[in-house]
Amino acid sequence: MSRPRKEYSVRKKRYTNAAGQKVESKAYYIHFRDHFDIQRKIEGTSDKSTSGYIGKNLSAIVNLRAGNQPLTAELRRFIESRPAAFRKVLMKWRILDEQTVSGFEPLMRATKKRKPRSSYVTYVVTAGHLYEWMSYMQSIGKNKGHVQQAVQHIAKIIDGCGFIFPSEMNGEKILQFITKTMKSPQTGNHWLTSIKTFDSWMLKTGRISVSALAHISPIKALEKTRSRRVLTMGETVSLLSATEGASPHHGCTGRERVLIYMLALYTGLRSKEIYTLPRFSFKLKENTATVTILAKDAKSKKGDVLPLKDDLARVLHEYFLETPAIPTAYAFPRGWKNKAAEMLRQDLTAAGVVYEAEDGVADFHALRHTFCTNLARSGVMPQDAQRLMRHASIETTFLKTLYVNPSKTRGISLTCDF
């Protein structure tokens, strides 16, 4: 009976040196047959047992390749531990395909940047899977700002968890890092969504064989999230009156902040949508005044045209005449990006308006809730309110107005005539 063929063997190479002497190599070599039954030889290490370990794993990789099966997590970790030249040889012999080899690149290569007198760190990603994901997302037309924000989330998770290669990603470790780092479940879920999108992309492109995060569910709030409250007529008048003559802050004069708040109260525009409005978005003819939201700046990524009340159109027209600029210039000064709630809270305090009450907080988005509630109080049909609010679902419109919660609207103006 013939003996079964060994899947691999480990031995030193014998050769004749320059002096004509027969010598052995310092390193052991692994001899094996690939999935095409071709005899191959690859350099191991100077330790026989370590070289045997390499041979054993090579044999397992060849068997999986012959059966067209994905690599196990253990084999992926083995290949990641080997030099890049080792992986290139296996790719040359077609034991590993190019897509699989790309999975053994590091998750990211990045440098950290810290703003002066700040503890906030940003990552400049220059290579690795994260860089390729970022390039891909931008190539398919995803909003550059959203992509950059997601990249920062992912980079901080990778760095904070100490991951280097894709196979090291661990869902439980990521969840533990997020819940420990984030102040709220909502923010944590934003980060989790970012890393799960990246994880899904790596799975689809063959960079990993198993998702590390498919089984991870969204983070649940441990306590009830604070709701937003609706401003009463008296509170709104106090806010606008006190702010009109207030000192500048957040890069805006009191008058400019009043215009920003009025836009939110009269149109329901979100803070980012107002911040990015160019001057040419406004058409301020009497009785037909409108503001256009560009698709790239809208939350839904759908452009829209909203009507403006005559008194708001008039004060906007006066402001633009007194502060001339080219049509493509921003409508309002810079300086309050991502700080709209902070800016409003400072003005609410100065006006003597309570920021947080039993029914919720009066942050900037509460102005949008106030607009929606005023529509309902004025007798606007839910379908029309949905159109003006630009809600994808009418259920969202109901949740934010007196259609389902009349108690939230005590003292609210019916006509919004501030």
Give me the mean pLDDT over the 30-59 stretch. 93
* CA-closest candidate to residue 368, choices 342, 341, 350, 346: 341
Q: Is the pLDDT of residue 308 over 90?
A: yes
CATH number listed for the domain at residues 233-409: 1.10.443.10
Q: At 74, which helix (H) or strand (E)?
A: helix 73-81
pLDDT, residue 289, reads: 93
Please give the Cα distance from 59 to 52 (Å, whole number): 10
Provide the CA 207 distance to its chain's centre, in angstroms. 20
Phi, psi of 37 (to 5 degrees): 65, 30
For residue 399, count CB atoms less than 10 angstroms from its CB and return exposed for 0-12, middle for 13-18, buried for 19 or more: middle
CB-based contacts of 23-29 (< 8 A; 24+ apart in sequence): 27/51
pLDDT, residue 409, reads: 37
Joined together, the tokens standing for residue 305 give 């045209």
Phi, psi of 291 (to 5 degrees): -130, 135
Please give the Cα distance from 175 to 219 (Å, whole number): 8
Per DSSP (E only), the strands in 190-331 are 282-283, 290-293, 304-307
Q: Is the pLDDT of residue 414 over 60?
A: no
* CA-closest candidate to residue 78, choices 66, 96, 102, 61: 61
Percent over 70 (pLDDT), the chain: 89
Encode pLDDT of 189-204 as tens digits. 889 999 999 999 998 8
pLDDT class for 257, splitting at 50, 70, 90?
very high
Give me the mean pLDDT over the 276-291 stretch. 91
pLDDT, residue 410, reads: 38
Give me the mean pLDDT over the 390-399 stretch. 74
pLDDT, residue 283, reads: 94
* CA-closest candidate to residue 363, choices 224, 187, 228, 225: 228
pTM of the model: 0.52
Q: Is the pLDDT of residue 385 over 70?
A: yes
Q: Would 109-204 and 233-409 be classified into the same CATH topology?
A: no
Q: At 121, which helix (H) or strand (E)?
A: strand 121-127
Encode pLDDT of 230-246 as tens digits. 999 999 999 999 999 99
Encode pLDDT of 131-183 as tens digits. 999 999 999 998 888 999 999 999 999 999 988 888 788 999 999 999 888 76
pLDDT, residue 38, reads: 92
pLDDT, residue 417, reads: 43
pLDDT class for 226, splitting at 50, 70, 90?
low
pLDDT class for 73, splitting at 50, 70, 90?
confident
Give me the mean pLDDT over the 275-289 stretch. 90
Q: Is the pLDDT of residue 408 over 60?
A: no
Please give the Cα distance from 298 to 406 (Å, whole number): 29
Please give the Cα distance from 59 to 34 (Å, whole number): 8
Residue 220's CB: how many other CB atoms inside 10 A? Answer: 7
Give me the mean pLDDT over the 364-377 stretch. 90
Please give the Cα distance from 309 to 321 (Å, whole number): 18
* CA-closest candidate to residue 370, choices 338, 314, 337, 411: 411
Q: Is the pLDDT of residue 102 over 50?
A: yes
Joined together, the tokens standing for residue 79 give 């290949």
For residue 388, count CB atoms less than 10 angstroms from its CB and return exposed for 0-12, middle for 13-18, buried for 19 or more: middle
Q: Which amino acid is at 359?
A: D
Encode pLDDT of 325-367 as tens digits. 999 999 999 989 889 999 999 999 999 999 998 888 999 999 9
pLDDT, residue 205, reads: 86
Residue 43's CB: how many other CB atoms inside 10 A? Answer: 15
Q: Is the pLDDT of residue 418 over 60?
A: no
Assign 69 to helix, strand or coil. coil
pLDDT, residue 411, reads: 37
- Structural domain boundaries of the chain? 8-98, 109-204, 233-409
Phi, psi of 354 (to 5 degrees): -70, 130
Give 109-204's CATH code, choosing from 3.30.70, 2.40.160, 1.10.10, 1.10.150. 1.10.150
- Bridge partners, 293 (sequence order): 304
Q: Is the pLDDT of residue 120 over 80?
A: no
Min mean pLDDT across 13-22, 127-136, 155-164, 384-393 is at 384-393
pLDDT, residue 239, reads: 96
Average pLDDT of the chain?
86
pLDDT, residue 361, reads: 92
Phi, psi of 332 (to 5 degrees): -130, 160
Percent over 90 (pLDDT), the chain: 52
